[in-house]
Chains A and B, each alone.
Chain A
Amino acid sequence: MNQYETVIVLTPLLSEEIAKEAIAKYSKILADSGAEIVQEDNWGLRKLAYPIEKKASGFFHLTEYKSSGEVISKLELELKRDERVLRFLTIRLDRHAVAYNEKKRSGAFNKKPKQEAAV
């Protein structure tokens, strides 16, 4: 069991509900294949740094989960087939990343990894 995280970028042309539905579909794929979802984070509509498929913005969604490696290929196949997905990125988290995410989730610092010792 490794810990992974996937960022999905969806087209901005979707309505909020349809975007949520699309995300729910992928969460379901993960849950069905026995992945344990650690956290989900919806960043909402964000501007892109450069146009992707002629879109200037996208819905960002982050999922962090524990699973075996086979689940990834299954998830990524679905992501590739989906035309609403502009980009996706899956990475395996090492122990430092897991610690960092846990700290971030518990609100030990706001967004910035450094300067947290100020207060």
Chain B
Amino acid sequence: MAKDQIQYVTAPKVDDNRKKYCRFRKNGIKYIDYKDANFLLKFINDQGKILPRRLTGTSLKFQRKVAQAVKRARHIGLLPFVADQLK
């Protein structure tokens, strides 16, 4: 019975042991296409903001390219600058 009553002060971290990795390095993608809005959706949140590296795991080199691609896509109207419920 005592086992069921264990309480944590902070919520225990579940599956924290999965390491983040850079998907571009792993898959050997060298160029990020700004015309592919659906792909870029993975790197922005539902307000249309670019997600930080600490969430996506992208390496610095490719984060710069992602940011560039998202900004280009915004300029030609493929992605919004601001949105409410993008996803």
Contact = CB atoms under 8 A, between A and B. Distances in A.
B77 A50 contact: yes
Interface in A26-67: 48-50, 52, 58, 60, 62
B31 A48 contact: no
Chain B's interface: helix, strand, loop or mixed, by majority? Answer: loop
Interface in B45-87: 72, 74-83
Interface string A1-36: 000000101000000000000000000000000000
A52 B77 CA distance: 8
B72 A48 contact: no
Given A89-B72, A100-B31, A113-B29, A9 B36 contact: no
A96 B30 CA distance: 6
Nearest to A88: B76
Report which residue of B33, B34, B74 has the largest number of chain A beta carbons within 10 angstroms of its beta carbon.
Answer: B33
Interface residues of B, number: 23
A100 B33 contact: yes
- A: contact size bracket: 20 to 34
Interface in B18-32: 23, 27, 29-32
Given A89-B72, A91-B72, A114-B27, A49 B77 contact: yes
Report which residue of B37, B74, B77, B82 has the largest number of chain A beta carbons within 10 angstroms of its beta carbon.
Answer: B77
Contacts of B8: none
B81 A89 contact: no
A81 interface: no
16 contacts: A9-B76, A49-B74, A49-B78, A50-B81, A52-B77, A62-B35, A87-B77, A89-B72, A89-B76, A96-B30, A111-B36, A113-B29, A113-B31, A113-B36, A114-B23, A114-B29
